[in-house]
Structure 1
């Protein structure tokens, strides 16, 4: 009896590799997407489905301007589920941001999210630039929203650690140009789904410039997971993209 060769998806399903850390997960009620199950238990199930061991998590309530309440909620979830915290910033209220960042760091937070797209704040605004300078000076990892060409300028020349969550395949050339001069500029894999995008970045500037991000639960999980598992990269590069890069940024 002749065995039929496994299909692409059957091969992926049989891939035993796991993803150690996801850089882009948001938990909690997201008003425009009431159809999405985004409570902690639901998100835990989503991550398990993708064989993702842990995540850097932002609280949706904090991203929708309620910093204090959202961060308190996130701290409780992180303690219960073992997640790493990423505090969202109210970009329309950056007065005293240095003191807020200091308090968060004392509490163990090492990453912040700049929800400029959701909050409608331009990356070039004075408050946004102030926040970036203060966070870079403290060595915090920043998660930046928005298309790469528009979002990258405020971070350049500061030695900043930043993951560009929305950098996409069609911006890859711009990203490679900038990343060559910025060793801690990193692209999330969420929109790097085009042919050879992961392979090109790893070969051109190194796997230290890529971090796995799913956008769960607001984005479909499978395309991002499948693209990384199917990437033709050495095991060391896979390990970096699947969590090593993000771990290094959080610990540096």
Structure 2
């Protein structure tokens, strides 16, 4: 893939990426936003896009669950479950529907539950149901649901996740959304940490060993390296937001970072396996 910059200079992105592969991407969506232009986000097209970018598994959540109907959206995600990057056993009825061949490799989905933060009591019940079904993570969509970090519902869901030992994947501005999870020994991945706000994440995470950040928006020349220097490589997880973001951007940044090979491998899937396994 050749990319042309504003000065008209082209470079070979895949040449820079080299042999890097991602074992598990924590930020994958199925479905579409009804009010935005974008891809349809069907499971088949999402798997194909992941495969084309050498991403071998995705922690996938449903936009239908986030925007329309929690239970039916989550059930559709659970139906995609099959032998996956976490080594979990297959759901017998779905095993043939998940894997898609890509040169002998397969792309797998690890289901992530979704709750409606506007309905905290219902969210708690749904998390109980998901946990009983073997789901190890829950994803929050505060911006899409119009919920602020200080709302009691967010703290309620945070406590429930800690009680159920579920990892939380959350959107929202990390400068505010770290607060509901503080002091709970919670495992949280902040999916929207922007490199402009990296300093705030670092000082918050210094006191919270369960706080992690996605790489998706950490595209400054030294953002990944700064996280590793301050907190260690175990706090970084690869996220692409396929198919609603260009996966090659975080992939290219990771491949050209100054991280050591073992650190790259941890970011490219090892850490996510630990959090979701």
Q: TM-score range by the shorter chain?
A: over 0.9
In the aligned structure 2, how far is the partner of 1:144 from the partner of 1:17?
26
- The alignment status of 1:241 with 2:267, answered yes or no, reads yes
Partner of 2:15: 11
Quick check: 1:116 aligned with 2:120?
A: no
Structure-2 change in CA distance of 1:96 and 1:62 (3 Å): closer
Contiguous gaps of at least 5 residues in structure 1: 1-5
Contact in 2 for aligned 1:21/1:52 (Cα 8 Å): yes
RMSD: 1.6
| Per-residue deviation, residues 7-27 of structure 1 (Å, max 9, x unmatched) | 5635325x1121101000110
The CA deviation string for residues 167-210 of structure 1, in whole angstroms up to 9 with x for no partner, is 11011111111111111100100110111111111121101111
Contact 2:80-2:111 at 8 Å conserved across structures: no
| Aligned with residue 52 of structure 1, among 15, 30, 55 | 55
Q: Which residue of 1 aligns with 2:205?
A: 179
Distance of 2:14 and 2:234 partners within structure 1: 30
Q: Does 1:153 align with 2:179?
A: yes
Matched, 1:208 2:234: yes
TM-score of the superposed pair, with normalisation by structure 1 = 0.92
**CA separation in 2, counterparts of 1:194 and 1:54?**
26
Partners of 1:191 and 1:41 in 2: CA distance: 26
CA distance in 2, matches of 1:65, 1:181: 36
Shift of 1:32: 2.1
The answer to whether the 8 A contact 1:65-1:90 is kept is no
Rounded to whole Å, the distance in 1 between the matches of 2:233 and 2:178 is 19
Give the match's secondary structure for 1:31: coil
C-alpha separation in 1, matches of 2:141 and 2:164: 19
Q: Distance in 1 between matches of 2:198 and 2:250?
A: 16
Contact 1:159 1:182 in 2 (8 A): yes
Q: For the residues of structure 1 that align with 2:68 and 2:159, how far apart are their CA atoms?
A: 21
Gaps (5+ residues) in structure 2? 1-9, 82-93, 99-107
Report how far residue 228 of structure 1 moved: 0.8
The answer for the alignment partner of 1:70 in structure 2 is 73
Aligned residue number for residue 28 of structure 2: 25
| Structure 1 range deviating more: 91-100 or 35-44 | 91-100
1:8 and 1:200 map into 2 onto residues whose CA distance is: 26
The structure with the largest helix share of the pair is: 1
